[in-house]
Each structure stands twice: as C-alpha cells, then as structure tokens.
Structure 1
Amino acid sequence: MIVYEYPFNERIRTLLRLEDLHEKFTFFVQQESPWEHHIALSTIFEMLEVAGRADLKTDLLQELERQRQTLLGFKSNPNVQSDMLDSVLQEIDQTMVALRAMVGKTGQHIRENEWLMSIRGRTIIPGGACEFDLPSYYAWQHHTAQQRYDDIIGWFTPLAPLFDAIGIVLRLLRETGNPAHMEAKNGSYQQMLQGKSYQMLRLVLDETLAAIPEISANKYMLWIRFTSQGGDLKPKAFEGEVPFELTLCNF
C-alpha cells in the first residue's frame, strides 16, 4: 500500500516538508560513505531554508499547548487508557521545554559557523563542492565515518527539539481522521466539503493498481484525478475504477 498525503494549508505543507527532510537526514547520516554524509549535511542546509520562518517555533509551541489542553480534558474519561494518555502528555511537556530552550533564529549556530556556510554556499552551485573548490571539506570527508557522524549529529542536535515537535504535531493530526473506503469511477473522484476546514488528507492506495492520485482541494471541494504511467513515464488518464482509503484530518 502507498500512502499519499496532501496539505490543505501552507503551515502543514511546511511541516510535511521538514518531516520528509528529517527522514532523509536520518537515513543518510547513519551510512558510512562520505558521499552519503555529504547528502546528510546538504539536507541540514535544506532544513534551514524551509525552517527559516521566524514564527515556526511559536506556531509549534502554540499547537502543542492546544493539544495538551485537549488531552488533559480526557483525563476524567473512563474509556481512555490513562497510562497511554500520561505518556503522550509527558512527551509533549518535555518537547515544549526543549523547544523553549532554543534561543535565537533556527539554525543560528550553523549560520555563525564560517566553515559550514562556505560549504553551504558552494553546494548551491551544481558540482560546486569538488575538492579543488573546498579542499578543507574534502579533507574532512576523509575522516573516519564515526568522526563525520559525530560532527554531523553535533550540528543537527540544536535543531532536534524542532523536529521532535513536528513529529508529535503530525502524529496527533494523522490520528484525528476516520478512514473511509471510497472508489473513483473512470479514474476520477469528487467530494463536496461544504466549507468545513481540514488540514490534511491521507489517501491509501494499493500499489499494484499502478494508479497515481493528483489531488486538488479547498474547503468547499475535493477532487482526485488518477493517472497512470506508460513506458516513457508520461502520465495519462487512468481508465477504470480505483478503490482507495480516504482520511480527512483536522484538529
């Protein structure tokens, strides 16, 4: 099964992009090749570009506090597992403390590192991080895998509370929806949303169908058009019925 997610607003779009970058970073930093560690470091630079909004930290703190207050309201509910609820509340509290402890602009410690900024400036240029452009970086790439790993993790660690908060917010958002089984006729599906605001859509599709959803949505209407790929990978309209699972998520 393939899970497709579609954000309804720029705020969730930013969180999903950062989550995607964090997943890629986590994979590449755990490898041993200097080329893979180069990708991990370049991914940190991409994180700074996406997370550069000054209000992201504030938005996350406000959302975590909203979720905390909502969850506290369930404490008196006998149908709620108290140990699981307490665990989530503790996770939120710890993340909020760490997030508040972050000082300055996101990634300021990297922006103040002239060596890292020189690498960042060269990686923007295609092929710009060759050994003759950045001999000191080339020398660093010849350190042991453990040394490079320790350095990269050290540069990322000040950003970790931000990604912990993003993980909690998106996890709680995904859990708000109720999956429904739908079917697209002739490769197309429409649903009126009647002005109700959603923050994210999740679509689960059997990959053996070889159908690709192209999603367009606002608070009034949802439209999903399914396409398929031929040998040249050029998309073409999918003809036939497409069963899928649809979840509309909103806090």
Structure 2
Amino acid sequence: MPSYDYPFNERIRTFLRVEDLFAKVLYNIEGSHEYQHHCALLTLLQILDIIDRSELRSDLMQELSRQRAVMDALQGNPAIAPQKLAEILNEIDTATESLRSENTKLGQTLRTNEWLMSIKQRAGIPGGVCEFDVPSYHYWLGLGEDRRQQDLKTWLSPLVPMHDAIVIIMRILRGSGSTTKLVAVNGAYQQMLGGSKPAQMLKIDIPDNVTCFPEVSANKYAINIRFNILDFTQKPQKYDEDVNFTLTLCNL
C-alpha cells in the first residue's frame, strides 16, 4: 500500500532526501540508455548539493555510535534474537569504519573533478547540458553503456559509505514505532503529542483503493493530517470522505 514519510527535524529530512536520490541514482545506473545515465549523473550532483549544505558525516557517525550503544545494551536480552542483533551490530561497525576511513570531506573527490563541476554548473540552467553547450558531455554520453556505468560507479563510490549509514539508520527509525489504525473523519485527522521523547518522523500507510493522499503539518506538540484528491487542473482539493489509514510515530 502507498506509504508516506514525514520528518520532524532537518536531520531526518536530509537523510530522507539523500535516501530518495540514491535510490534514483542506483536505478538509473543499472539502465543501458544514455538518458538513464544522464539522469543518474544529474541526480548524483544533486546529492553533492545536499552534502555541501550539511554536516552529514558527523551526524551519521554520531547516530551510528548512539545506536551501537543502544544495541549493545540489548545483548543477553532473552527477547532479542542473538544472531539478528549480531548482524545489526556488524552492519553498524562496518558503516562506522567506512565513514571514519574517509579522510577528506564527503564528496571531495567529486568537487576536485573540474569536468564534473562544469557539468554541475551547466545543469543548473534549463537545457544547459545540450550538445552545443557542453560537447564533451555529449561525447561522454556516446562512449557506450559499459564505459558510462564504470564512470558513474567510480564517481558514486566515495558516497557509498554515507548511503550505507543512512540505510541502517532509516531502517532502525522506521522499525522503532508502534503502528496504530486510525480514521480521518471527512478526510482530516489531528493528534496531540506528548511524552518526554518526541517523535522524529511519522509514517502513513493507506489502502491501495483510496484515491487520495495525505498532507501533513506537524511539530513536537501536534500532528495535523489532511487528505486531498489530485486535480490536474488546479491545486489539490480536500477529500471529504472518511479515510482508514495507519500511523506510525518513529523515534531513534
């Protein structure tokens, strides 16, 4: 069923954005057409933009260290499968070591590639990487599937440790909350939040046969969810029927 994540803070928002962009890069790299590899490269450069605006490596290492301590405290708990716990601890240790072993700033090897940076600069202009604007890029696109894939994977490789860390953290976050079945009366739902440990993200799942989507506004005090229908001729309109959905409040 359709699922929607909504972050409550800038750090989780950044993780979700990188996760989404990485999924698109990895999908398009495995394609064979030059247009797919064009999309992969431009998306990779978008990831670089996000990295430039945040202290992503320190955030990831801090969170991995915290999760390592939490998981380590669960050892010996009869309610926890020892093998599964050992696997998670190993994943965290591997991701932490990979991040720590990179001596330069995340994405620095890409920033020092003058050709890639010239593509990045032109990509900010609508239609800015046409063949008459950047003939070298047009030449690269014509080198063939194998060469393009090899280059893309080489450029992506310095960012893989960051992606691996985000995958682990988001998997733990999504699995941390309890799911509640709810009804949005006339397409609207509100819930007050409390407790000493505020949620960091919420996840909404709705049935496949429901022809609407949620829009969320939330802070540490309250959640407001409004279900809308998509109208391609104007802005989304409020859905006026009851909506059955599930809500998961997630917290690391």
TM-score range, shorter chain: over 0.9
Kept after mapping to 2: 8 A contact 1:57/1:162:
yes
3-state SS of paired residue (1:51): helix
Amino acid at match of 1:70: V
Match of 1:23 in 2: 23
Match of 1:90 in 2: 90
CA RMSD of aligned residues (A): 1.2
Match of 1:125 in 2: 125
Kept after mapping to 2: 8 A contact 1:71/1:89:
yes
Kept after mapping to 2: 8 A contact 1:3/1:205:
yes
> Offset at 1:37?
0.4
Match of 2:202 in 1: 201
Inter-partner Cα distance in structure 2 for 1:230 and 1:79: 49
Amino acid at match of 1:208: N
Q: Compute the TM-score of the two structures, normalised by the length of structure 2.
A: 0.96
Match of 1:160 in 2: 160
Match of 1:66 in 2: 66
Kept after mapping to 2: 8 A contact 1:54/1:105:
no
Inter-partner Cα distance in structure 2 for 1:11 and 1:118: 29
Match of 1:210 in 2: 211
Amino acid at match of 1:22: F
Inter-partner Cα distance in structure 1 for 2:126 and 2:4: 30
Kept after mapping to 2: 8 A contact 1:57/1:99:
yes
3-state SS of paired residue (1:176): coil
Q: For 1:29-44, list aligned pairs within 5 A.
A: 29-44=29-44
Unaligned runs of 5+ in 2: none
> Offset at 1:234?
3.4
Q: Deviations over 1:192-223 (max 9, x none)?
A: 10265110000001132112111011111111
Match of 1:52 in 2: 52
3-state SS of paired residue (2:225): strand
Match of 1:225 in 2: 226
3-state SS of paired residue (2:245): strand
Farther off after superposition, 39-48 or 194-203? 194-203
> Offset at 1:32?
0.7
Farther off after superposition, 200-209 or 228-237? 228-237
Say yes or no: does 1:237 pair with 2:238. Answer: yes
> Offset at 1:56?
1.1
> Offset at 1:231?
5.7
Match of 1:189 in 2: 189
Match of 2:5 in 1: 5
3-state SS of paired residue (1:106): coil
> Offset at 1:230?
3.6
3-state SS of paired residue (1:215): strand
Q: Compute the TM-score of the two structures, normalised by the length of structure 1.
A: 0.97
Kept after mapping to 2: 8 A contact 1:54/1:106:
no
Q: Deviations over 1:23-71 (max 9, x none)?
A: 1101111111111101101111100111114521011001001101111
Identity of aligned residues (%): 45
Q: Deviations over 1:59-92 (max 9, x none)?
A: 1001001101111111110121101110110011
Moved over 6 A (4+): none
> Offset at 1:189?
0.4
Q: For 1:163-178, list aligned pairs within 5 A.
A: 163-178=163-178
Kept after mapping to 2: 8 A contact 1:188/1:225:
yes
Inter-partner Cα distance in structure 2 for 1:67 and 1:75: 13
